[in-house]
Each structure stands twice: as C-alpha cells, then as structure tokens.
Amino acid sequence: MSILALKKATLVGLTEDKAQILDQLQALGVMHIIPLQKLTSSTPSSHLNTDGLNVSPEQLYESLHYLLNCKQKRKQVMSERHFNLLSVIQQVEKNRRLRLDLVERYDFLQKRIEDLTPWGSFILPAENEFYGQRFWFYLVPNFRMKEVQKVDLPWQLVHRDNRHSYIAVIAEHEPGINALPVVRTHTGAIPLAQLKRELEDIEIELETIEAEREGFTRWIYLLQRSIAGTDDAAQLAEVSSQTLDRDEIFAVQGWLAEEDVEQLASLAKAQGLVLQLEAPSEDELPPTLLDNPTAVAGGEEVVNFFQMPGYRSWDPSRVVFFSFVSFFALIMSDAGYSLLLAAILLFYWQRMGMTESGVRLRAMGCALALAGFIWGVLVGSYFGAHAPFEWLQGLKMLDLNDFDSMMLLSITVGALHLILGNLMMAWVRRRSLQAWAAIGWATSLAVALAGWIQGFTPAHWVFFAAGLVLVLCFSSARSGWSGMRLVDGLLALTGITKLFGDVLSYLRLFALGLASASLAMTFNKLAVDVAAALPAIGLLFKVLILLVGHLLNFGLTVISGVIHGLRLNLIEFYNWSLADEGYAFQPFAKQEVSPWIT
C-alpha cells in the first residue's frame, strides 16, 4: 500500500566533524533519528542550543503569542541591523511577567474595593485605643436580622442593600461562633481610600507596561522569521546529545525510506563517513511513513490525527478519504448547502494554500463540496426546495422520504465498508491463521446482507455458518490446537452482536440526511407562512427566517457530517480493519521559512 519500506541506517564519522555532519544531515532531512543514548534530566531537549543564543522554542512561541495578542501593533521592522533575538525575548518576558503580576494585583484590589465600599472608608483603631474593645464585622442576610436583635453585644447597622445588612459589633474578643447568625467577615486593616490610591497607581503602571508591550510588537516579523531557526537549533542540539560518542568517533542511527538511500549514500561519500544499511528485523517496530498523492492526502491528515497504523499494517488513508467524503455527502443531502460550502472554501483558498496540511485539507474540501452537490442533485434538494430548473428536476433519481430505499442504501454502505475492513485485516494477517477469522467475518456479513436483500435461503444459512466456523477456529493467536483455542474462538463469536450493531450504526447516514432536509423544508414553509400572514412586513421576516434558518441548519449539517463521518471511519471501520498502532515518521529536517503575510 502507501506505507513506504524503510531501512535502518548507521553513520559513523569523526567527532571533530560531528557538528558539520549533523547540520548537513538535518539539511538533507530524510532520517528519523534513533536515540543511541538518552537525554539526562539536567539537559532537557527544549533548552539545548548550538548557536549560543540560549533561546528555546517554547520561550520564542510564548513571547510571540504575547505580542500577537496586543491590540495595537507598531510598524514592523524588516531589517535585522538592530535586532538581537536573546535581548528581545528577555525584555518581552520581563514585560509579560510584570504585567501579569500587576493584573493579578489589580483584580484583587478591584474585588477588595467592591467588598469594602458598603462598609465605607474607615481606619481601625489601635489595639488599646478603646480600652481593649475592637470592631467585628458581619454580613447578615436581611431575613436573619431578627436574630441579631437578640444579641447582647453592642452593634450598629452600617449599611443595607436588597439582600444583606452590614453589621459592626464592638467586643473585646471575637464573639463566639454561635453569638451571631453568620460567621465574621474579614475586611482587612487597609482603609478603602488607601486601596483606591493603590489601584490608581497600578492603572498608571499598567498603561506604561502596555505601551512598552506595544513597542515590542515591532519585532513580530523578525520573531516569526526566527521560529524555524530556533526550532532547527533545538532539534540539532537534541540529536547531537543522542549520538553515540567514543573518543574520536561518533555514530548516529535512524530510519529512512528505501527511495532516499542514494541521497544518504552520496552524503556519506562526500563527508567520508561509514554507512551501514540494514532491513528492519521482525522484533523491531519502525515508524510509519505514509505516502499519498496530494489529491487524496486529506485522508492521511485524518489518520495522523486519530491513529497511525503500524509499519507492517496497511494505510487506510485513501479508504478514509473516499468513505468520509461519501458519508459527508449522504448526511448533507442538499446541493445548495454544498455550493455554500464551496463558496466558503473559495474564500479561504489562498490561506489554506500556505501550509502542506492546508493544501491537503483544501483538496478534501473540494471533494466534499463536489460529492455533496452530486448527491444533492440526485435527491433533488436545493436549500430544502425543489430544483429551480426543469432539466435539474430530471436528474432527480432518489427520494429521501422513501424510507425503505434509504435504509437499504445505508445498511448496504455500512456492510460493504466493514466487509472491506475485514478483508484488509485478512491481508495484514496473511502470514497467520488469524487471517481466516477476518475472512470468516467478511463472509458472514456478505451473506447476511445478501439474505436480507433477497430473502434467506438454505444456501445463505450454510455460508453464514461456514463464516462463523472460520471465526471459531482461527480467532485465537495461540499455537497448536487446544481447549483454550476453542475458548478464544467462542469469545470471538460474541463479536457478532458488535458486528451487526456497527452495521446498524450506519443508519445515522439516512437519519441525519433526512433530518437536514426536513429542517430545511420546515424553515422554507415557516417563511412562506409568515409572509402570507403579514403582507407588508412579512417579506422582511421571510428573508430573516430563511437566512438565519438555513445558516443554522447548514452549520448543524456540517458539524454532523464531520463528526459522524469521522466516527464511522475511525471507530466502526478501524475496529475491524486495524489491529496494530504505530508511530509517525519524524524526519530530522530543517524547516523552511515561509514569507510573512500581512
């Protein structure tokens, strides 16, 4: 399939040339490094650097994020004549920390002033000023003031609002916990007027800090340009610490695609390195390197996000691509909504083309819009209405309200999808007897589907039972034939309920498509009824209902199509088609600096 075959390469060279060799290896960008020694806790990879700047990628990203969130930005400096990365990062970090401390203090003072305002501005007397008597403050709910009337201690109502009464009690010692109906309120010893003055000072200081932050935004462009270099330096330092060093020589090891072996061999010859190539052994688990054409590579993005297949498994990217596109179209079931999706895609076309992932997802978006439009034409739905032209009406072949046909279609799609998954599982396990168990599931499901459509005959039951016998006999991974193999087979047979449950799960395609179409028609009917009931202003309400209603329905349909389309692929399908999970191939490569777009 599209999982590339890998080789394990070991390069041996002189330690004095190590920095230059690793730099050229990073520029080549074809190897997934295998650590030959682990990093120690005293030298975390995020802080390793080979250029002497001591700026980690995390520091750079944090500073850049801080500046990008500034509301006002200055004109960008394009020249590096006055730019020092370390100095700018240190100043921005100092500004960020100071601002954070001030904001925390500002929020605290605002809350304290809000709490103290009802009590008024006062200064607590010294400890012996009133013959040892002190003030104790209580915030009492109004409905409990009758209980306060019974208190023997001297007290005074300071303030009252709709919910609480503010009571000051005079006593030498704090009253007991049951003396008043509520616990004591802590007002603090700092007067309200002093808190307000401090708040004013902090507001002035915050303005100064914010102005300084705004000034630092002039370096955003140069900081963005430094991202690739900083990441490359950190990655280079990390790999440098993972090589095996012995006196005057060092060794670096990694995986690479077979098609890239010639490039690595050329580098080794040019640098006078020893190159050893090995095929992966059976007990090794190399990383998974997927290779798909750009047109269908959107499925690869989905696979990378959810679960990377093992190196010796198969690449489900293309199946996921086409099945997801098909499921999305069935759920949307409207040509008008598909054209709206195409318009949104066209609006973000350039922005998505700035990254490799964006280009892949853009291609998938085109497929989603096209498939949705074709299916919408076939079911004859255009924003919940009939086709606007007679020639389009002639293209309608299906009716969403034909429940029997739509249920048959959904079940058939689901069964075929899971049959394909089991056949791929059989191919992956082709060197094991367990492959026959996957073939058994595929056979039983295919026969059950045919019997459901045509009506069961004795032949159907025979083939259905034969498939289950294969599952019973070959599901176990144990060697030899024993009673435990039979137990494993019986346990595997319980999966028949899950299999048919997963098939029925595909009914959501019909249900969600029908719900989307029904909601669109409901908004159309509601708009027409309102316009008829209100001849004058009804036209305005009609437009608003159509606009808001269809935008809401479009949003819900897209969300449903994405969530449930992915769910059927990544849960139901994956469960029957993938057994082993792998990890992604991460090339030791330098990043390209993309031009900054304003």
Residue 100 counted as domain residue: no
Picking from 230, 249, 278, the residue at the C-terminal end of a domain is 278
User: Is residue 546 one of the residues assigned to a domain?
Assistant: yes
Residue 369 tokens read as: 């819009």
pLDDT of residue 256: 94
Is 208 within the bounds of a domain? no
**133 shares its domain with 72:** no
**Do residues 562 and 416 share a domain?**
yes
Question: pLDDT tens track of the chain, all 598 residues?
Answer: 589 999 999 999 999 999 999 999 999 999 999 998 875 544 444 444 444 456 788 889 999 999 999 999 999 999 888 889 999 999 999 999 999 999 999 999 999 999 889 888 888 887 777 777 888 999 999 999 988 888 888 998 999 989 999 999 988 888 888 888 888 888 888 889 999 999 999 999 999 999 999 999 999 999 988 888 888 888 888 899 999 998 899 999 999 999 999 999 999 999 999 999 999 998 899 999 998 888 888 888 888 888 889 898 899 999 999 999 999 999 999 999 999 999 999 999 999 988 888 899 999 999 999 999 999 999 999 998 888 888 888 888 888 888 889 999 999 999 999 999 999 999 988 888 899 999 999 999 999 999 999 889 999 999 999 999 999 999 888 877 778 888 888 999 999 999 999 999 999 999 999 999 999 999 999 999 998 888 878 889 999 999 999 999 999 999 999 999 999 998 899 989 987 888 999 999 987 544 433 3
Residue 204 lies in a domain: no
Same domain, yes or no: 477 and 553: yes
Residues 206 and 106 sit within 8 Å (Cβ to Cβ): yes
Q: Which residues contact 4 (CB under 8 A, 6 or more apart)?
A: 257, 258, 259, 289, 290, 291
- Kind and range of the H or E run holding 509: helix 507-533
How remote is the C-alpha of 336 from its chain's centroid?
29
Do residue 397 and residue 514 come from a single domain?
Answer: yes
**For position 573, what pLDDT does the model report?**
92
Distances (CA, A) of 519 to 94, 149, 167, 174, 334: 55, 62, 59, 66, 12
Are residues 440 and 337 part of one domain? yes
Q: Are residues 272 and 299 in the same domain?
A: no
Q: How many helices (H) and strands (E) does the chain have?
A: 21, 9
CA distance 515 to 205: 57
Residue 157 DSSP SS3: strand
Q: Give the three-state DSSP class for 321.
A: helix
- Per DSSP (E only), the strands in 186-257 are 244-246, 249-257
Q: Per the domain annotation, does 145 fall within a domain?
A: yes
Domain assignment present for residue 194? The answer is no
Residue 214 inside a domain? The answer is: no
Output the pLDDT for position 54. 67
Helices (H), 69-144: 85-116
Residues 10 and 61 in one domain: yes
Angle of CA points 57, 48, 19, to nearest 5°:
115
- Residue 556 and residue 447 share a domain: yes
Q: Taking the CA of residue 307 as centre, how many other CA atoms within 13 Å lie in the half-sphere pointing to its CB?
A: 19
Whole-structure pTM value: 0.74
Do 269 and 344 have their domain in common?
A: no
Q: How many distinct structural domains can be found in the chain?
A: 3
Asked if residue 36 is part of any domain, the answer here is yes
Please tell me what DSSP assigns to residue 117.
G
Distance CA 303, CA 199 (A): 53
Task: Tell which of 231, 250, 278 closes a domain.
Answer: 278
**Taking phi first (over 0 means left), then psi (-120 to 50 degrees means alpha), and beta for anything else, what does residue 402 get?**
beta
What CA–CA distance (Å, rounded) separates 298 from 234? Answer: 30
| Residue in 59, 30, 529, 578 with CA at minimum distance from that of residue 289 | 30
Q: Are residues 225 and 369 in the same domain?
A: no
Q: Are residues 166 and 245 in the same domain?
A: no
Same domain, 274 and 302: no
Which domain does 274 fall in, by range? 6-82+221-278
